[in-house]
């Protein structure tokens, strides 16, 4: 994992460790997406991963979708 789950939790306003496993799984998924899209691992930051986790993590079961911002930022990071 290229990111710090504690910093991602801070970005999302999550305290404690009760959601660590779920958030780590989402963070790994986002990192995998970025790498598959061509983002070099050295360019993967806590900020972009936190945005991706925020986009995907919907505890209420709402439809998940990566935001336009996330997609645009991922494209920029591939350059």
**Domain boundaries along the sequence of the chain:** 5-78
Q: Confidence class of residue 78 from pLDDT cuts 50, 70 and 90?
A: very high
pLDDT digits (tens, 9 = 90+) for 14-54: 999 999 999 999 999 999 999 999 999 999 999 999 999 99
Q: Residue 19 carries which DSSP code?
A: T
Helices (H) and strands (E) in the chain, counts: 4, 0
User: Can you read off the two tokens belonging to residue 53?
Assistant: 């986790």
């Amino acid at each position: 994992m290229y990111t710090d789950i504690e910093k991602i939790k801070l970005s999302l306003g999550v305290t404690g460790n009760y959601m660590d496993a779920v958030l780590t799984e989402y963070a790994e998924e986002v990192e995998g997406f970025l790498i598959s899209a061509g983002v070099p691992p050295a360019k993967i930051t806590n900020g972009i991963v936190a945005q991706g986790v925020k986009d995907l993590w919907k505890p209420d079961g709402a439809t998940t979708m990566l935001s336009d911002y996330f997609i645009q930022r991922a494209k920029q990071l591939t350059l």
